[in-house]
Chain A
Amino acid sequence: MKKILKYVIVDIIQNKIVLIYTFLLLLISLSVFNLESNAAKGLLSLLNIILILVPLISIIFSTIYIYNSSEFIELLVSQPVKRKSIWLSLFGGLAASLSLAFFIGAGIPILLYHADATGITMILTGLFLTVIFVSIAMLAAGITRDKAKGIGLSILLWLYFSLIFDALVLFFLFQFQDYPLERAMVFFSFLNPIDLGRVQILLQMDISALMGYTGAIFREFFGNQVGVVLSFFGLFIWIAIPLFISLKKFSKKDL
């Protein structure tokens, strides 16, 4: 397992895309912090990067990488290694290298310019989203044999999580405007890792506005320790479940 992981990581690092991604993030982070008049505003601009770009790059790169590793997978499957190790190594390699890229590209600038609770929540959320979308990519690549279809599926999944889901929730909110929807909103936010991460950041950034939220349920739920623990547990589940399903698929896959 360790050995395979090593080869995956070396391979990904040799792959220039992750380096370019790191550099791009670094460029964006440094420029938003330097160009914006205050660091808080820079952080706000970075928020969009974290909620949109990070999942996109993570899921697309991972999907393509998994398809491009088919030779590697084939080679290893006939060798005395567990399939589970191969798959988990791929996941581990992708998650580790993309997380590292995110941490260097966005995490360090945030720590330099805005090392408070908001900044740290943002880094944590970014790291979680990176790993979650690697995990979702594993699933997308695991259930489709065709590369084009697989990439299409992952783009669709990204679109769903970053846009369509929220649009549906918004639609729902307006349809059922007259009902108390706070509980439903708590529930909904667990159905989308991006929302779950976003809520954590909202709690830091817009706490004043959230405190005025008429239904206190959201505040009570997410505002205390249990809520925070539950949210991060939710994010963890979002890593585990797609990975677990893809692992099941892969252990029965014909190569």
Chain B
Amino acid sequence: MKKVLYLILISYFAVFSADAKVIKVGKTRSVAFIQRAVDLSQNGDTILVDPGLYKEKNIIIQKSITLKGINYPVLDGENKYAIISIKAKNATVEGFKLQHTGRSEIKDLGAIMIYDSYKVSALNNILEDTNFGIYVQNSKRCTIEDNSITAYGKDEVQSGNGIHCWRSDSLIIIGNKIKGHRDGLYFEFVKNSLIWRNVSAQNVRYGIHFMFSNRNTYVGNIFERNEAGVAVMYSNNIHMYNNHFLNNWGDAAYGILLKDITDSDISGNHFTKNTVALHMEGCSRIKLYKNIFNNNGWAVKIQASCDKNDFNRNNFIGNTFDIGTNGSLVLNTFTGNYWDKYEGYDLFKDNIGDVPFHPVSMYSMIIDSNPAALMLFRSLIVSLLDKTEKILPGVTPENLRDNKPVMRPISL
């Protein structure tokens, strides 16, 4: 028995020590090129790279190795090449500064390209002036964590996405900071993934953009000042918790645009100072609860094509308009929300207003058909029109109402 154990131990160490070779790369060392080190390495090896500038065109990794930079060595793509391409299991790229990728009309070029891989990690890298930042395709269980990804894109056509994922499964994307790309985060056909604590700001198009990506969870991300906010489409079973959607301004900018999203949960999110905080079309069975809509132009624009969505216990504070809609058909429910525009009373003192609240103001409907009329907003004539409409509803959908509006903001 003892012998067997010993044997196992020996053989384990033998395997481990064989794997655990460390190759050092640097200008003054015997291995001066990273690609050379990769070629020399075997599965399980670690390659340590000294600080310095490396122009190695496209480094290709097809082994289970760890590529690690010391003090962020700079890998330069010379505006022509992708910088690192990985097609492997269990590979890691960590601690590099990657800059100046190429741009191509035909091929997507990025700083870290991950193809057909399994359990590949990109950790703690700094990406600057990249076309695509980190590009994941046909991969599973990859981790992209704590990368700082900055581009200086000027228009949608010329720039790529910060983190681009396509046909992948079970990705973990945590704590990345993405700036100035076309879309900060882009997912198409990505399933079962977690997107946590990322900051996606000032991108040329969307902060996050996903389509056909079901069963993903988005937690604690910040999407700020993106030209078109956030757009998510054609997906189901989406979970969005505690994200911040801030300062997305423009005529087609949304805190978040939901198009054909079904069976999802949206909770604890903060929508602040967006032109339209939440735009929904063709959405069904979404539960929206405990979100905070603060100082937006429109808190929610819900098209008549949406049904069975439920708004519950949300705070609507300081928005120019709380709800906008484009028809009289209302198949969604609003219950127990706090509306700062509610002027009803609470005789029972149970914190529930005794009269229903109609969150759609007449003038918001007028503006919907005649945007220039926004300039008369808050004038006496408009206040009178709105008051009249409240007493004698004619234009606004009668059954779009909250029957149990709460009197005080819900503490969240």
Contact = CB atoms under 8 A, between A and B. Distances in A.
The reply to whether A and B meet directly (CB within 8 Å) is: yes
A213 B409 CA distance: 29
Given A48-B383, A163-B381, A166-B381, A206 B375 contact: no
Interface residues of B, number: 35
A174 B373 CA distance: 9
Contacts of A173: 370, 372-373, 376
A218 B375 contact: yes
A52 B380 contact: yes
The 9 lowest CB-CB distance pairs between A and B, nearest first, are A209-B297, A212-B275, A211-B249, A209-B320, A208-B297, A166-B381, A181-B372, A206-B320, A166-B379
Interface string B376-400: 1111111110000000000000000
14 contacts: A37-B409, A40-B317, A51-B380, A162-B379, A170-B382, A173-B373, A181-B372, A195-B375, A208-B274, A209-B377, A211-B251, A211-B253, A212-B276, A213-B371
Interface stretch (A18-26, A75-83, A196-204, A231-239): A196-204
Interface in A184-200: 185, 189, 194-195, 198-199
A70 interface: no
A41 interface: yes
A163 B380 contact: yes
Interface footprint category on A: 35 or more
Contacts, number: 105
Contacts of B382: 166, 170
A166 B380 contact: yes
Contact of A208 (B275, B372, B373, B377): B275
A213 B374 contact: yes
A202 B377 contact: yes
- Most B-side CB within 10 Å, residue of A51, A52, A202: A202
Interface of B: 249-251, 253, 273-276, 295-298, 317-318, 320-321, 340, 369-384, 408-409
Interface string A152-196: 000000000011001101100110010001100100010000110
A202 B378 contact: yes
Contacts of B295: 208
Interface of A: 37-38, 40-41, 47-48, 51-52, 162-163, 166-167, 169-170, 173-174, 177, 181-182, 185, 189, 194-195, 198-199, 201-202, 205-216, 218
Given A37-B340, A38-B318, A206-B378, 16 more contacts: A41-B318, A51-B378, A162-B380, A166-B380, A166-B382, A170-B381, A170-B382, A177-B369, A189-B375, A195-B376, A201-B378, A208-B296, A211-B251, A212-B249, A213-B374, A214-B251
Contacts of B375: 185, 189, 195, 199, 202, 218
B69 to A, nearest CB: 42
B275 to A, nearest CB: 3
Contacts of B383: 48
